Each structure stands twice: as structure tokens, then as C-alpha cells.
Structure 1
Amino acid sequence: MSTFDPPRKKSTLAPVDVTTVQERVYQSLRLGLLRGEFLPGEQVSIRGLAEVLGTSPMPVRDAVARLIAERALEQSGPRSLRVVPYQATDHENYIRIRMQLEGYAAERAASAPKDPKLIDLLRHHNDGIAQALRADDLEAALASNQAFHFELYRGAGYPQLLDVVSTLWLRTGPIVASARTDAALFDRLFHAGVRIHGEAIDAVARRDPAAARWAIKLDIRSSNLAIRRFYKRGAGGADGESS
């Protein structure tokens, strides 16, 4: 004798997508590195990051594994992690690559059809840096600087190029942020940046690719010179290399 099972009510609950949480955690940590919220050589822990992000350790562990693969974080011991420390030779190589790629991105942004919205956004982010400096808000200055550069590079219209630039910034963002431990250096560095950014904005506005490329390369080079002097004075060790 067969039994009759009444049809079950169809559930309207959506399945929990764990990968969404993992991706949000990864993007949050990635943005923190891009904006210099972590310093070179800074020790971090999965449990500590999970507490700050308000999540369980599992998605943090997955995000950390991805960032280790991207050489933004590294294992400093069996159970310890740290932001990749400053190494002068590696950093110089990254800077040379960044100057070429980011200079090209600025050139392409200036070659694209004129976009008043892009110009307004660039000015907004650059003004944000200046306002943050006046308020001695170094974190906000770093965030606005990152926003300025990435807004400009998005204007190039090459998402793949932006991906490559983003990976390089993961490895150099914390190093630029280390200048915030020297208030006078940070102030000089970012005041110069605001001025050079203004030149880049003007070049994009008048659609001058060569001038836009030159301004961004100058911005990266001048920043690197200041950082190099900072580390040679002992911030990264007597020889300018981190241990």
C-alpha cells in the first residue's frame, strides 16, 4: 500500500553563498593594502583580522592565501603572517614597471574622448588629498591618493591593465604609507603629489597624452625618491633593506 506525500511548499530562502563572504573579505583586505592601511613588515594574524572585519577566520584564511600568492603578505613563521617588508631592490624594480604601465594608462586616458565626469572625479579626489593634509588626516590622504590614481587608470578603458597595476600597488602601497611615520616627509610628499596630479588632470582635460604620461611618471618617481631617502635614513635598516 503506497503512502501519499503531499507536495512540499517551495522554499523562498536563498542558499547562503559562502564565496560572497570570502570575496568581500578579500576585497576589503586588498583595498586596505592598496590604500596603505598596513605597513611593510607589519605582523598580522587571521584571528585578529577576523575580529576587525567581524567575520569568522575561514574567509580570512582564504583571502590571506590569495594575498600570499600575490606577494602582498608572507608567512613569517609557522603560524605568523606579515605584510611583505621593504626590500630596496625589489621596490625599485616595481617602481620602474609602474612608471611604464601607469604612464601608459594615463596616456590612454588622455587619448580617450573627453569625459567631463572623469575630470570632475579626478579633481574631487585630488582636492580630497589637499583637504586631508590640512586636517592632518594621513589615512584619508592615502585613500584619496589611491582613488585618484585608479580613477585615472579606469579612464584608459583597459580593465586588464588596471588589474596588473592593482597587483603592483598591493606590493608598493604599504611602502608609500610608511612615510606617515615621518609627518614632515609625508606632508612634502603629498603636497608635491597634489601639484603633479593637477598637471596630470590638466593634460587629460586638454587631451595631451604625452603630458599626462610625463606627469604620472614624475609623480611615481618623485614619491620613490622620497621613500628611498626615508629608508636610507634607517627606517628599513642600516642598508635600506628590511630584515
Structure 2
Amino acid sequence: MDEPHRAVPHHHRLEFALIVDAQKKSGLGPVDLTTVQERVYQTLRLGLLKGEFLPGETISIRGLADVLGTSPMPVRDAVARLIAERAVEQSGPRSLRVAPYVAAEHEAYIRIRMQLEGYASERAALTWKDPDLLERLREINRSISEASDAGDFDSALAGNQAFHFEVYAAAGLPPLLEIVSTLWLRTGPILASARQDDALFERLFQIGVQIHDDAIEAIARRDGAAARRAITLDIRASHFSIRRFVKRASGEPNAGQGSSRGAKSVPASRGRALEQA
């Protein structure tokens, strides 16, 4: 059964207003402002990647339109595209639901990500040409470490995303980057939901920073196999930690398994929950 429709709270207005700037810093490229529909789509897409929406949350289209300062029509158009990408589901004529966590589906996405992102990392290590790449990666990784130490997990999460897409962009295969970005849409919300557990996130980033260092060194010496190992290990380590979190949060050893229709989703953080419309 779907949760009650929830509108986007007023305190998210500033967050959404800053998303365009965050997009430029994220490594995913600038927002295309040619049409309102495209701008809304890119904003919602980045919101999913950044964890503004959590697995299983039901959100009113009118609430999103109010936050984004537009009519519901561009939001509906953007939602239709996100439905096609399986990032969200239509939960009613005036609402959408972020895809719930389903263990079997998530496992499949992780396996695909390991293959594709491992390949992108290997190719990047073998073919990178930008003389500033290594310094950018080191600076991003330092920023992740500093943010994690300060308990600023939102910034650490954004830095982690920027690091990965900086590496993948260096592979020089824009279609691959687009596919990987779509897969992140489907796995991003569940990672963001684990921000309820500060200790878990602190461990995730401590381990992740070390693995990123290994990836940087592999890229520096153009060792494609080592770069692939580092990135796939990073993905796998995060996946195992998130899977443990899901089981604890649901109270069921096999929580989330089965079809997404009627699947039990991970409880959203009430501190970040969307207010009742």
C-alpha cells in the first residue's frame, strides 16, 4: 500500500535552488536550460542522485511544481522520462513514488555497475590525457575525507559521486557515462537513505577514501586492471554495507526480496521525510 501523498517541504526550496550549481560541481555536466521541461527533468534527476528523495517515498506532482516554480505540466513530462528510466513509478494521477528497494533488483544493478564502471575505470587508466586529472581526483578525495570527518555526509556523498564520474568521463565514452548515470539513479536513493546511520556512513567513507587512493595510483601508473579492481571493490564494499543496513532497518533477514509490486521498502528517515500535503 502506498504511503500518503507528501508534498516537498519549504526547507527544500533552497536545496533545489542550489541544485543547478551542484550539478556543475558533480562531474555530471551542466544543466541544459533550453526548455523548462529539460530543466525540471535535470533537477529531479540530480535530486534522486543526491538523495533528496528516498526509496518508496510518494510525492505530489503539485508539491514539486510549487518548489520548482513551474506548472505541473513540465513536472509530469519529467516524471514520464524518469518512469521510462525506472527511477520512479506513477503512484496515482497526481503523484509519483520513488522506486522502492527490492533486494534482487538492487543486486542486479550492482552487478551491472561493477562491470560497466570497472570497464570505464580500466579504460580511463589506459587512455586518460588530461594533465590535471590526477590532481582533481586527489583534491576531490581530500574533500570527501574532510567532509566525512566533519560529519557532513551530504557533501561527502556529493564528492563521492564527483570522484566516480570524473574517472568515468576520462574514459572518453559519453554513451557509457550516460548508461552509468542512469544506473546510479536506481541505486542512489537507497544509499542516501542510509544517512540515518552516521556510524555506517563514517565507515563507508573511511574505506571509500582509501580505495579511491588506490584507484588514483592505478590511474597514475596506467594500470587498467588495478583501476578496475579498485572501483569494483568500492562499489561492492558499499553494497554490502547498505545491504546490512536494509536488513536492520526492516527487521527482516530477507527484506525487500521479490517483485517491486507491493514490495516492502526501507523506512525513510523521518527527519528528512516529506511533510503531509
Taking structure 2 as the reference length, the TM-score comes to: 0.77
Counterpart residue type for residue 60 of structure 1: V
Q: Which runs of 4+ in 1 moved over 4 A?
A: none
Q: 1:172 aligns with which of 174, 182, 187?
A: 187
Q: 1:67 aligns with which of 77, 82, 98?
A: 82
Counterpart residue type for residue 83 of structure 2: I
Identity over aligned residues, as a percent?
70
What residue is the counterpart of 1:134 in the other structure? 149
Structure 1 residues 146 and 63: CA distance shift in structure 2, 3 A: same
Tell me if 1:32 matches 2:47: yes
Report the alpha carbon displacement of residue 31 of structure 1 after superposing the two structures with TM: 1.2
Tell me if 1:197 matches 2:220: no
What residue is the counterpart of 2:160 in the other structure? 145
Deviation per residue, 1:62-105 (Å, 9 max, x gap): 11110011000112344331110100000000001000000000
Counterpart residue type for residue 124 of structure 1: E
Q: Secondary structure at the match of 2:192?
A: helix
Report the alpha carbon displacement of residue 106 of structure 1 after superposing the two structures with TM: 0.2
Q: 2:73 aligns with which of 51, 58, 75?
A: 58
Question: After alignment, is 71-80 or 211-220 more displaced?
Answer: 71-80
What residue is the counterpart of 2:35 in the other structure? 20
Structure 1 residues 204 and 236: CA distance shift in structure 2, 3 A: farther
What residue is the counterpart of 1:230 in the other structure? 245
Tell me, in whole angstroms, the C-alpha distance in 2 between the residues paired with 1:94 and 1:108: 21
Counterpart residue type for residue 220 of structure 1: I
8 Å CA contact retained: 1:39, 1:83: yes
Deviation per residue, 1:121-140 (Å, 9 max, x gap): 21222122112112211211
8 Å CA contact retained: 1:104, 1:213: yes
Deviation per residue, 1:140-184 (Å, 9 max, x gap): 111111111111100000001001101100000111111101111
Q: Secondary structure at the match of 1:215?
A: helix
Structure 1 residues 190 and 79: CA distance shift in structure 2, 3 A: same
Q: 1:219 aligns with which of 223, 234, 237?
A: 234
Tell me if 1:104 matches 2:134: no
User: Rg bigger for which structure?
Assistant: 1
Taking structure 1 as the reference length, the TM-score comes to: 0.88
Tell me, in whole angstroms, the C-alpha distance in 2 between the residues paired with 1:44 and 1:96: 29
Structure 1 residues 228 and 23: CA distance shift in structure 2, 3 A: same
Q: Secondary structure at the match of 2:65?
A: helix
Size of the alignment, in residue pairs? 226
Q: Secondary structure at the match of 1:81?
A: strand
What residue is the counterpart of 2:135 in the other structure? 120
What residue is the counterpart of 2:29 in the other structure? none
Q: Secondary structure at the match of 2:96?
A: strand
Q: 1:47 aligns with which of 49, 62, 78?
A: 62
Q: What pairs up with 1:174-189 in 2 under 5 angstroms?
A: 174-189=189-204
8 Å CA contact retained: 2:116, 2:180: yes
Q: 2:101 aligns with which of 78, 86, 91?
A: 86
Deviation per residue, 1:188-231 (Å, 9 max, x gap): 11111111111111111111101100000000000000011111
Tell me, in whole angstroms, the C-alpha distance in 1 between the residues paired with 2:69 and 2:137: 33
Structure 1 residues 57 and 235: CA distance shift in structure 2, 3 A: same
What residue is the counterpart of 2:260 in the other structure? none
Question: Which residues of structure 1 form unaligned runs of 5+?
Answer: 1-17
8 Å CA contact retained: 1:86, 1:236: no
Report the alpha carbon displacement of residue 34 of structure 1 after superposing the two structures with TM: 1.7
8 Å CA contact retained: 1:114, 1:205: no
